[in-house]
Amino acid sequence: MSDLRTFVLLAGLTALFLVVGMALGGQDGMLLALLLAVGLNFWAYWNSDQAVLRMYNAQEIGPEQMPDYYAIVEELARRGNLPMPRVYLIDDPSPNAFATGRDAEHAAVAATTGILRILNQQELAGVMAHELAHVRNRDILIGTLTATLAGAITTLAQFGSFFSSGRDREEGNNGLTGLLMVFLAPVAAMLIQMAVSRSREYEADALGARLCGNPLWLASALHKLEQGSRAMPLYAAEANPSTAHIFIVNPLSAGFMAGLFSTHPPMRERIQRLQAMVNMR
């Protein structure tokens, strides 16, 4: 169901791009905006893993530094028939984790010292299984596609803000339609992009639960992480909010990005879905 929802959302984002492109930029403007967005996001797709790891000062570790953490990732990668990802540690008391990398062969997982402190081994396995599920589902690629289309729409809207008023005067329009398109199109694109992100979180929860072997391990971890991240936000993420979507729980302080604009599904809903998986066995 989540895969179908992602497809529908991507189709909707594509349709929005076509409508906005023809309305604001015509075929030439639409092509230019798409090329700019593809170029920027192609670079990000190939380089974002190292960029985000540097952003959070993540340090690569081996089995000799943190044997339990490393062994959990190693076992889960074996179960998921995935190449062993690089394993990183972030020295931060806020409990959180993420995965990055353009494909399974170039994947990395990172956990904060905070998450290692508050979770037991089973809960940590649930979290790392969730992150490896993102790798297996190629969610970095899906995120890049949505970012490309959303970026192209925003670029078109910026073009429209420069040119629509003059064109409307020439055509005798009051400019209201163009202005609405300029301001509402990027918002609509952002909402669809965040809906895709939330959908992928549900799918990673489900696959992660199967990968670790017990949905309740991840459910218990999410409960602890929600409380921990609220009490202690990840301040490096506050400085780089565009990276919030890669974390297993929203790393931003309450009120910064909530409700409709959240990149993460409601925690209660995520936990209830995991608990329901147990009842379906």
Please identify every residue annotated as catalytic. 131
Count of beta carbons in the 10 Å neighbourhood of residue 261 = 11
* SS3 call for 111: strand
- The greatest distance separating any two alpha carbons of the chain, rounded to the nearest whole angstrom, comes to 72
Strand bridging mode 86-90 / 108-112? parallel
- 219 closest CA partner among 274, 141, 140: 274
Instruction: Give the Cα separation of 240 and 221 in Å (integer).
Output: 24
Question: Which residue, chain included where needed, has tokens 């609509």?
Answer: 188
Residue 33 bridge partners (DSSP): none
The dihedral sign for the CA sequence 88, 94, 99, 102: negative
Residue 137 bridge partners (DSSP): none
225 and 91 Cβ atoms separated by less than 8 Å? no
- 188 closest CA partner among 37, 165, 135, 196: 196
